[in-house]
């Protein structure tokens, strides 16, 4: 049977997100070669000249480079492997009106910083693996109309409250929670994400019984647990084919 359009898109997303990789940095992250491609100042200059629409940097931006990012027209993708972005830097990010993809490692944004990112109305992919936000910050992301992929981790994220916040983002197609202990009850809440294609959970603390219930409720979701397929995932690596 010919795959449906939706599931062909799901397969493409799974490929993009590094399905099968044991490296948690593979989801929405640059390769080392990409990151080393150009110095950050040079990349900013290329975007300003209309020669590029993405910036991928492996070193922390200087204060001057952060200021150079302010209001940078034409920037669609920003990946800072050592962003060190705090809530103050988020005011600069909020001026990037055309930003579609944002990856900020080593960036402890709180709920205040998350609120500022809501000005990036075109944002589609958001990756904050070391955030300092709470469930309230996650819930605020519901106002981003184009958000489809969320990768998130942080010491203040745990339990049912976080899953309730995530469940308020029905537009999500891919979700990765990094070392967020949600437990069985939290996974049950995630069943509400009826449009989800891919679910990645690390350190979730979910029992096999809860996973069995989830797979019955959400048979089309492709699941990775602690960077590996769950052995009860009914789709496994075959999720790209429609039944």
- Boundary residue ending a domain (153, 185, 202): 153
Residue in the block written with tokens 């469930």: 135
**Cα gap 103→78, rounded to integer Å:** 6
Residues 176 and 150: beta-carbon distance below 8 Å: yes
**Cα gap 180→159, rounded to integer Å:** 8
Which tens digits make up the pLDDT trace of 96-152?
999 999 999 999 999 999 999 999 999 999 999 999 999 999 999 999 999 999 999
* 122 and 193 fall within a common domain: no
* 166 and 102 fall within a common domain: no
Sequence-distant (6+) residues with CB within 8 A of 92 are 66, 67, 69, 70
The whole-angstrom distance between residue 27's C-alpha and the CA centroid of its chain comes to 8
Task: Decide which of 38 and 209 is more confident.
Answer: 209
Report which of 95, 103, 58 is spatially closest to residue 77, judged by C-alpha positions. 103
Please say whether the dihedral angle defined by the alpha carbons of residues 46, 71, 58 and 158, taken in this order, is positive or negative: negative
- Boundary residue ending a domain (104, 134, 153): 153
Report which of 66, 9, 20 is spatially closest to residue 237, judged by C-alpha positions. 20
* 15 and 78 fall within a common domain: no
* 17 and 82 fall within a common domain: no
- Boundary residue ending a domain (105, 136, 153): 153
pLDDT mean across residues, the chain: 85
- Tell me what pLDDT residue 38 has: 64
* 41 and 76 fall within a common domain: yes
Distances (CA, A) of 168 to 113, 140, 160, 235: 19, 9, 13, 25
Which tens digits make up the pLDDT trace of 201-226?
999 999 999 999 999 999 999 999 99
Cα torsion 29, 93, 154, 228 to 10°: value is -20
* 132 and 207 fall within a common domain: no
194 CB neighbour count, 10 Å cutoff: 10
Residue 133 sits in a domain whose CATH number is 3.80.10.10
* 53 and 113 fall within a common domain: yes
- How many domains, in total, are found in the chain? 2
Average pLDDT in the 23-46 region? 62
Task: Decide which of 230 and 18 is more confident.
Answer: 230
- Residue 238: domain span: 1-23+158-243
- Tell me what pLDDT residue 228 has: 84
% of the chain with per-residue pLDDT over 90: 77
DSSP string across 197-234: -EEEESS----HHHHHHHHHH-TT-EEEETTEE-TT-S
Sequence-distant (6+) residues with CB within 8 A of 205 are 181, 182, 183
* 33 and 17 fall within a common domain: no
**Cα gap 228→35, rounded to integer Å:** 26
* 18 and 35 fall within a common domain: no
* 113 and 170 fall within a common domain: no
- Tell me what pLDDT residue 166 has: 98
């Amino acid at each position: 049977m010919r795959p449906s359009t939706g599931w062909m898109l799901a397969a493409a997303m799974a490929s993009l997100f590094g399905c099968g990789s044991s490296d948690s940095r593979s989801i929405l992250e640059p390769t080392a070669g990409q990151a080393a491609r150009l110095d950050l100042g040079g990349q900013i200059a290329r975007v300003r000249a209309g020669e590029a629409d993405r910036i991928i940097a492996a070193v922390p931006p200087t204060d001057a480079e952060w200021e150079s990012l302010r209001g940078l027209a034409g920037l669609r993708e920003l990946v800072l492997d050592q962003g060190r972005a705090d809530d103050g830097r988020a005011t600069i990010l909020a001026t990037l009106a055309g930003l579609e993809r944002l990856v900020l490692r080593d960036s402890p944004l709180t709920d205040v910083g998350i609120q500022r990112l809501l000005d990036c109305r075109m944002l589609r992919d958001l990756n904050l693996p070391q955030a300092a936000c709470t469930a309230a910050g996650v819930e605020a992301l519901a106002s981003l109309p184009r958000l489809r992929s969320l990768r998130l981790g942080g010491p203040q994220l745990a339990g049912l409250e976080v899953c309730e916040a995530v469940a308020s983002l029905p537009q999500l197609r891919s979700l990765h929670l990094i070392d967020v202990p949600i437990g069985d009850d939290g996974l049950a809440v995630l069943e509400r994400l009826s449009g989800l294609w891919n679910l990645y959970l690390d350190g979730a603390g979910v029992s096999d019984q809860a996973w069995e219930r989830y797979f019955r409720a959400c048979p089309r979701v492709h699941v990775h647990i602690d960077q590996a397929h769950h052995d009860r995932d009914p789709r496994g690596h075959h999720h790209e084919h429609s039944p």
